[in-house]
Amino acid sequence: MNAGIRQPFFFRFFNKRYLTCKIPNPEQTIFLTFDDGPVPEVTPEVLKILEKRSTKATFFCLGENVKKYPELFQGILTQGHSIGNHSFTHMNGWKTPTGQYVENVMRCNEYFTTSLFRPPYGRFSISQYYILRKHFQFILWSVLSRDYKPEVTPDQCFDNVMKYTTSGSIIVFHDSLKAKEKVLFALPRFIDLLLEKGFRFGVIPYNSKGPPHQQS
């Protein structure tokens, strides 16, 4: 059963010029991403796992956590990882008025800037999308580990990402407290096996000085 693991069907209706769920490439490259950090209980451990394997990733950070833990955020940058905006306080776009939602997302600019944005829960309205696409490339996913789900075991989390990852996949883990046990179990095993299979790990490039590059 793949419900909640692959990308939601409605993502396909948006302009792919600004909404990315997969990055096709001929080099067997896949893209690890992490949401909700940085937090001191998990992010340093994730960074150690990545560094030990010379693997890069993209971290979609909450502005409130960057504000609280600037040294952890700097550690992400120092190790050469990419960064994205995940809103300031993890707002649900389906439950938040457009003006309030956009203001929350843009508040991150007080602490870091990036051209990448991942809406929390993958939920956003049409009006939110059309305003924010002027500032960001929306990065969603093709494989969701579900490491944040209490009912998902560490082994199931690992199986989720192994079963559905292919070249170009954007995989979501979380460097958050609720995901700690599962991400620290699944992540090193996942990386090691994918490297053995000949895959490479890439970062999603970001621009820290302006809106996303508009592809033709």
What does the DSSP 8-state code read for residue 108? G
Q: How far apart are CA 46 and CA 59, in angstroms?
A: 11
Q: Report yes or no on whether pTM surpasses 0.85.
A: yes
**What is the predicted pLDDT for the residue at 153?**
97
Instruction: Kindly state whether residue 8 falls inside one of the protein's structural domains.
Output: no
Instruction: Kindly state whether residue 18 falls inside one of the protein's structural domains.
Output: yes
Instruction: Kindly state whether residue 163 falls inside one of the protein's structural domains.
Output: yes
Instruction: Kindly state whether residue 113 falls inside one of the protein's structural domains.
Output: yes
Per-residue pLDDT of 141-173, as tens digits, reads 999 999 999 999 999 999 999 999 999 999 999
Instruction: Kindly state whether residue 176 falls inside one of the protein's structural domains.
Output: yes
**What is the predicted pLDDT for the residue at 213?**
46
Instruction: Kindly state whether residue 208 falls inside one of the protein's structural domains.
Output: no
What b/e sequence results for 31-52 when a residue is b if at least 16 CB atoms lie within 10 Å of its CB, and e otherwise?
Answer: bbbbbbbbbeebbbebbebbee
Nearest to 113 by CA among 213, 212, 214, 21: 212
Count of structural domains within the chain: 1
| 48: containing domain | 13-201
Q: At what angle do helices 70-78 and 43-52 cross, to 10 degrees?
A: 10
Indicate the range of 2-6, 49-53, 113-117 predicted with least confidence: 2-6
Instruction: Kindly state whether residue 212 falls inside one of the protein's structural domains.
Output: no
Per-residue pLDDT of 40-65, as tens digits, reads 999 999 999 999 999 999 999 999 99
Are 108 and 66 spatial neighbours (Cβ–Cβ below 8 Å)?
yes
Tell me the CATH number at 137: 3.20.20.370
Scanning the structure block, which residue is given the tokens 């560094």? 51
Quote the percentage of the chain above a pLDDT of 90: 87
